[in-house]
Structure 1
Amino acid sequence: MKGSQIILDHLGGREAAALMVDGKLEDFLIAGEAPRPGTIYRAIADRPVKGQGGMFLKTPDGPVFLRQVKGLAPGQPLLVQVTGYAEDGKAIPVTQKVLFKSRYAIVTPDAPGRNISRSIKDDDIRDMLLGLVHEVLDDDEDMGLILRSSCATGEAGEIAEDIDTMVSLARQVISDGEGPAELLVEGDAPHEEAWREWTDQAEVVTQEGCFESHGVLDALEELKTVHVPLDGGGSMFIEPTRALVAVDVNTGADTSPAAGLKANMATARALPRQLRLRGLGGQITLDLAPMPKKDRRVFESALRAAFRADHIDTTLVGWTPLGHYELQRKRARLPLKILLS
């Protein structure tokens, strides 16, 4: 089926959302038990961790871990925001750089400024957006605002309402920094996150059971296997371990001199989507198909371009002495295999 569809349903009693593009599952969100990224707490400083430059904090949902805590004393209250999911046996990661993110705007309380997405080129639209900003924020207010690329196609009234809602929420939370540990803002659930992040024009499907009728369940079934066929006849195997995610690339039946490069280039194009759908992050090691060292630069360029289009932060670390390629990816989601088990 051509075009994009946002499909909202439940799976195993969990709220979930799927983005289908031309009949192919492009993204998938499902609720878990852990606090979601974006959750904001008033936390209480507990105990520092020597040698790591961090501190454990107390929250109503258990301990969280904050890095770079110079000048923070035990017992001190502070506002923190969940940045991702924790590895097994570790505390939830948080930051003091609290953001308030919605479909059209990002409010940055600790970073003053008025910014509009560079992807919006039309001067008339930019002038209109600046006018909306001045209506909501005073020029001397110590609070920043970023207008997202979705503003290019949004209606002025909706954008103004969205900005006002986010700014009001930010003011309320920032003024509530004193007191015992408390949950102040919950991170977005899958349906709300889908509305916030999937802003391209799409048909929205909400009927009960639409995952089955629109092919989502079949696509999820394919993600349960570690084997991923690649364009050109090659394949890769994506296998999470406790320490890292191992990706093994094979050329298949192709024995030509260029087979290794072809399989590795296909891996570069397919990998961001596979990691995103499977909810995998942390350390990722690629055991690539054999190719001449002179082709490494071409592979790196393709990999960089592929991850540039992916919204989950990923650092391309580089080559190891054994010829593997390493990545470091933010744990923005829980592993799909755990949520579907």
Structure 2
Amino acid sequence: MNEELLIHCSAQETRVAVMVNGILEDLHIERRAQRGLVGNVYKGKVMRVLPGMQSAFIDIGLERTAFLHVHDIYTARQDDGSYKPIEYLLHEGESVIVQVSKDPIGTKGARLTTTISLAGHKLVYLPKEPHIGVSQRIEDEVERDRLKALITAVRPESEKGGYIVRTCAEGATSEDFLTDMEYLGRLWKQIAEKITVTAAPGILYQDLYLEERALRDMVNENTTRVLVDAWDDNIDKLKTFAQTFVPTVTDKLEMYTAETPLFEQYGIESEIEKALSRRVDLKSGGYLIFDQNEAMSTIDVNTGAYVGKRDFGDTVFKTNLEAARVIARQLRLRNLGGIIIIDFIDMEKDSHRAAVLAELQKAVSTDRVHITMSNFTELGLIEMTRKRTRDSLGHILCEPCPLCGGRGEIKTARTVCYEILREVLREWRQYPGIKEFAIIASQTVIDLFLEDEAEALNLLQDFINCPVRLQVESCYSPEQYDITFN
């Protein structure tokens, strides 16, 4: 497997792409003006405790208060597995040290936890918990036992905190762990010193920039090189960071110097455009339809122009197999999270359904984000959840359409005409002394009043015994109108 990490840095944003055998498999975008909050540590102030929800709203200095559930308070869990009531743990007005586990999304505030975790290259440090663990992605039991024993042996006796061994630590040595321990211990000491002098709400620690996190988290043994398209000072900073914290990455860093922009050279710009599209075409001739909203995302699989060479069942099976692989990739590129429903084309054979499910599970197994998946439901759907920690690609790069308000469609001119007629009648009944109405609307609506709906407008004027004047406003959207009277 040939894996490359492409990093494009500018003064406004950083974009990171993971290429596997020349194909874009993962994409991350961070804008300086809208940096993510996940990993940031705050000294928050408890604004409200809700016993009924076993939750609390915490002011950490953002526009919206953040949300803390009792299950995310590490001191709440008791020996029998139950949780202490939150009203016994938090009180309004007190300060609490918290870390952001999920960015604010839509109308929801940030999700918080009191379990502070600081990520290094090989280890994650838990300064408040003595737990020692190994990433579940390391499946070799012998290696898991070796890593757990190694981290236990090198951990200083005075250390009260715990560690989680990261996936990239497979094959690590004691020197690797000691380097991370020293860095993470120094980082926590700096945070602890700020706690005593920072007033709530206030920030204690801000996570690394995306380009630095990419070097720390995304480079592995399969990564052949890290190609950086950035200003000279940015590449120098990255080299310094790599030498200090992830020295194994230093030799893989390369400066991109070609005239064609890096993301254009590798075809990533066109892939981003495709990832913003509702429709994704399959090589076989089939296609996928992605619909994303706040409650869930749905994916519909269609055969399209693909008819196959034998029977329809074989056509459906091959289309679904290809769709499973493409869906897993699109979930990463679009960063879709929360509840996801996949409507594969109906398959009659149980063996086909089992094969498609196995293909989907295999395709999502490399995803860095945690995924849980159900079997096929009675309706032939697959339900899955993908942990949502940051905004999707569509929410980062796009905004709701000002014409349709995010619905994806607008009212017809005839629908708007009938709304206007009803509104005029309502105004006439409410204010019986009106002598003249004026309808101000877009060109398409006024044209309809002058042509197909001219009779309806005349009938209204005769009924209210009042003239109605029409006026075009070129800057109005198709759904926008005003009604004035005197």
Shorter-chain TM-score: which interval?
0.7 to 0.9
Aligned match of 1:325? 382
Aligned match of 2:67? 65
Q: What amino acid does structure 2 have at the position aligned with 1:285?
A: I
Contact preservation (8 Å) 1:36, 1:188: no
2:263 to 211, 215, 219: 211
CA drift at 1:126: 4.7
Separation in structure 2 between the aligned mates of residue 224 and residue 279 of structure 1, nearest angstrom: 11
Contact preservation (8 Å) 2:36, 2:390: no
Segments of 5+ residues of structure 1 without an aligned counterpart are none
Q: What amino acid does structure 1 have at the position aligned with 2:317?
A: L
For residues 274-289 of structure 1, what are the structure 2 equivalents within 5 Å? Answer: 274-289=330-345
Q: Kindly name which structure, 1 or 2, has the bigger radius of gyration based on alpha carbons.
A: 2
Relative to structure 2, which stretch is displaced further, 152-161 or 253-262?
152-161
Q: Aligned residues, how many?
A: 337
Q: What amino acid does structure 2 have at the position aligned with 1:265?
A: L
CA drift at 1:276: 1.4
- Are 1:315 and 2:397 an aligned pair? no
Aligned match of 2:291? 239
Distance 1:120 1:325, change over 3 A: closer
Segments of 5+ residues of structure 2 without an aligned counterpart are 74-85, 231-260, 399-486
Contact preservation (8 Å) 1:120, 1:126: no
Deviation track 1:99-127 (CA, whole Å, cap 9, x = no partner) reads: 1112211112343244455457887x958
For residues 288-303 of structure 1, what are the structure 2 equivalents within 5 Å? Answer: 288-292=344-348, 294=350, 295-303=352-360
Q: What amino acid does structure 1 have at the position aligned with 2:21?
A: D
Deviation track 1:26-53 (CA, whole Å, cap 9, x = no partner) reads: 1111114153311111111111345432
Structure 1 residue matching 2:204: 3-state secondary structure: strand
Structure 1 residue matching 2:102: 3-state secondary structure: coil
CA drift at 1:273: 1.9
Deviation track 1:248-295 (CA, whole Å, cap 9, x = no partner) reads: 101232262133333333233232321111121122111221112724
Aligned match of 1:94? 112
Relative to structure 2, which stretch is displaced further, 107-116 or 218-227?
107-116
Structure 2 residue matching 1:83: 3-state secondary structure: strand
TM score, norm. by length of structure 2? 0.62
Aligned match of 1:306? 363
Deviation track 1:78-98 (CA, whole Å, cap 9, x = no partner) reads: 222211233311111111222
Q: What amino acid does structure 2 have at the position aligned with 1:65?
A: F
Contact preservation (8 Å) 1:282, 1:328: yes
CA root-mean-square deviation = 3.0
CA drift at 1:159: 4.8
Aligned match of 2:318? 262
Separation in structure 1 between the aligned mates of residue 17 and residue 192 of structure 2, nearest angstrom: 33
Aligned match of 1:53? 54
- Are 1:228 and 2:280 an aligned pair? yes
Structure 2 residue matching 1:31: 3-state secondary structure: strand
Distance 1:59 1:4, change over 3 A: same
Contact preservation (8 Å) 2:313, 2:348: no
Separation in structure 2 between the aligned mates of residue 12 and residue 172 of structure 1, nearest angstrom: 28
Aligned match of 1:180? 200
Distance 1:297 1:119, change over 3 A: closer
- Are 1:194 and 2:214 an aligned pair? yes
Distance 1:261 1:115, change over 3 A: same
Aligned match of 2:303? 251
Deviation track 1:159-192 (CA, whole Å, cap 9, x = no partner) reads: 5323311132234435655652211121332211
Distance 1:131 1:315, change over 3 A: closer
Q: What amino acid does structure 1 have at the position aligned with 2:303?
A: T
Distance 1:318 1:174, change over 3 A: farther
Distance 1:315 1:53, change over 3 A: farther
Separation in structure 2 between the aligned mates of residue 339 and residue 263 of structure 1, nearest angstrom: 31
Contact preservation (8 Å) 1:317, 1:328: no
Q: What amino acid does structure 2 have at the position aligned with 1:196?
A: R
Relative to structure 2, which stretch is displaced further, 206-215 or 19-28?
206-215
Separation in structure 1 between the aligned mates of residue 383 and residue 362 of structure 2, nearest angstrom: 16
Percent of matched pairs sharing the same residue: 25
Distance 1:288 1:206, change over 3 A: same
Separation in structure 2 between the aligned mates of residue 257 and residue 115 of structure 1, nearest angstrom: 46
Deviation track 1:285-321 (CA, whole Å, cap 9, x = no partner) reads: 1122111272444433333333332121222245555
Contact preservation (8 Å) 1:77, 1:177: no
Separation in structure 1 between the aligned mates of residue 11 and residue 150 of structure 2, nearest angstrom: 46
Q: Relative contact order (C-alpha < 8 Å, sep 6+): which is higher?
A: 1
Q: Identify the structure with the greater helix proportion.
A: 2
Structure 2 residue matching 1:61: 3-state secondary structure: coil
Q: What amino acid does structure 1 have at the position aligned with 2:216?
A: R
CA drift at 1:133: 6.5
Separation in structure 1 between the aligned mates of residue 380 and residue 172 of structure 2, nearest angstrom: 47
Contact preservation (8 Å) 1:244, 1:284: yes
